[in-house]
Structure formats: structure tokens, C-alpha cells
């Protein structure tokens, strides 16, 4: 069945949303994040979103235009907040080598502090579609988003040029490090007693040993 759509309306004469409309959109987006975390994209129906917000289906469509737009808003909100935290941590590092550890710790820290966000991201990684067949996958904020490994690979390449890491293929190493972190976070979802912080400490220690500069 084709997704129900209606134009998302704006009430002010200059084309901006009113404070009330903005607040309602943020509320619906926050509820959608929780629903996706609990039920997955496919299980987060328009009716379920409306019920959680205590409004009608038509009211949800008034603010977003389509169910898929709500799901996309939820995904974008999570990715935006995560990106801000990781970028700040990387930017505050004193060197490219330290920025690698900062990236991993900030990402892990954000995920453990926001379990619903972690579940949403895992759901996005595991599904090809949002909701029903024909819906587009998460845009990740751009028509051609960068690969997830690129920032880490860039940091590793810089650290190598600065003499803080030995020579190795940065792309392969960044994929391995990022994949290991994904596995740690996934394990924490299936086993709440699994300690993410000690696991991240161990992961970064292994990375440090494997990539330390070779002594002359």
C-alpha cells in the first residue's frame, strides 16, 4: 500500500515554522526515536507514532507530510547529535593519534549514554528500507555520504605522517577498528552486563600495540 502523504504546512508569512509547530515536531521526532528503538523501522507505523504523541494520524502528517519523513527526522536527529559529540572530542584532541582514541571513546560513550539512539543506528545499519517496501533508506544527511571508515582512516594517515603510528593500510585498519567497536556495542545490547568501557579500553590497547611505531 502506498504511503499516505500530505503537504507539511507552515503558518507564518515568512515561511518559518511557529514555536508551537517546532516544539511539536521535536516531540514527535523524540517519540519516533523511542519507537524505532523498540519496534524497528518496519514496526513504527504512522498510527503508533500518532498514538504515542496522543494526536491523530492527520496531525502527524500535518507536521511532516509522510510517515517516512518522521522516520528520517528521527534518524537525522540521532546522527546529528552523535556527530556533534564525536566531532567535538576529535577537535579537542592534541594530536591525530589522540584523536583516534577520542573518536572511539566519544562514539562509545554517546551510544551507551543513549541506548535508544544506539538501537536506532543498529536498526538503520541492519535494514535496507525505512518501514514499507519502496521507502528510501536513511540519507545520512547527504546524497553521497562519506564511508564510515573515512574519518578514522584520515586520522590514522595523519598520525603516520606525524610519526606516531607505524606504516600500514589506514583504510583496512579503520574498517577493523570501527567494526570491532560495532561488535562491542552490539554485544552490549544483547548482554546488559557486558562492560563497554573496559572493552573499549582493551580494544584501544590492542590497537596501540598493533600500530606503534617500529623501533629503529
Domain assignment present for 100:
yes
Give the residue numbers spanning the domain of 197: 77-211
The distance from CA 188 to its chain's CA centroid, rounded to whole angstroms, is 16
Domain assignment present for 112:
yes
Domain assignment present for 207:
yes
pTM of the model: 0.79
Domain assignment present for 89:
yes
Confidence of residue 136 (pLDDT cuts 50, 70, 90): very low
Closest by alpha carbon to 189, among 101, 131, 140, 120?
Answer: 120
pLDDT tens for 185-213 read 989 988 989 999 999 999 999 999 999 99
Long-range contacts of 170-173 (CB under 8 A, 24+ apart): 173/207, 173/211
Domain assignment present for 216:
no
Domain assignment present for 118:
yes
Domain assignment present for 63:
no
Q: Which residue has the higher pLDDT, 137 or 125?
A: 125
Q: Is the pLDDT of residue 123 over 90?
A: no
Domain assignment present for 167:
yes
CATH number, domain with residue 142 = 1.10.357.10
pLDDT value for 19: 81
Average pLDDT across the chain, whole number = 85
Q: Which residue has the higher pLDDT, 26 or 12?
A: 26
pLDDT tens for 140-161 read 444 444 577 899 999 999 999 9
Closest by alpha carbon to 31, among 67, 85, 58, 83?
Answer: 67
Q: Is the pLDDT of residue 66 over 50?
A: yes
- Name the domain count of the chain: 1
Amino acid at each position: 500500500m502506498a504511503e499516505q502523504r500530505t503537504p507539511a504546512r507552515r503558518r507564518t508569512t515568512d515561511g518559518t515554522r511557529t514555536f508551537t509547530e517546532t516544539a511539536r515536531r521535536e516531540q514527535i521526532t523524540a517519540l519516533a526515536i523511542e519507537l524505532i528503538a523498540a519496534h524497528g523501522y518496519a514496526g513504527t507505523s504512522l498510527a503508533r507514532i500518532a498514538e504515542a504523541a496522543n494526536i491523530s494520524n492527520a496531525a502527524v502528517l500535518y507536521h511532516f507530510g509522510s510517515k517516512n519523513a518522521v522516520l528520517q527526522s528521527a534518524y537525522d536527529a540521532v546522527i546529528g547529535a552523535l556527530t556533534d559529540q564525536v566531532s567535538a572530542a576529535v577537535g579537542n584532541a592534541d594530536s591525530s593519534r589522540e584523536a583516534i582514541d577520542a573518536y572511539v571513546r566519544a562514539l562509545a560513550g554517546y551510544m551507551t549514554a543513549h541506548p535508544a539512539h544506539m538501537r536506532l543506528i543498529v536498526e538503520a545499519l541492519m535494514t535496507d528500507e525505512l518501514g514499507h517496501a519502496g521507502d528510501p533508506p536513511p540519507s545520512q544527511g547527504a546524497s553521497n555520504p562519506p564511508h564510515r571508515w573515512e574519518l578514522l582512516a584520515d586520522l590514522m594517515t595523519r598520525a603516520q605522517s606525524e610519526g606516531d603510528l607505524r606504516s600500514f593500510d589506514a583504510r583496512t585498519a579503520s574498517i577493523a577498528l570501527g567494526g570491532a567497536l560495532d561488535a562491542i556495542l552490539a554485544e552490549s545490547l544483547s548482554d546488559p552486563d557486558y562492560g563497554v568501557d573496559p572493552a573499549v579500553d582493551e580494544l584501544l590497547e590492542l590497537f596501540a600495540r598493533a600500530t606503534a611505531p617500529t623501533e629503529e
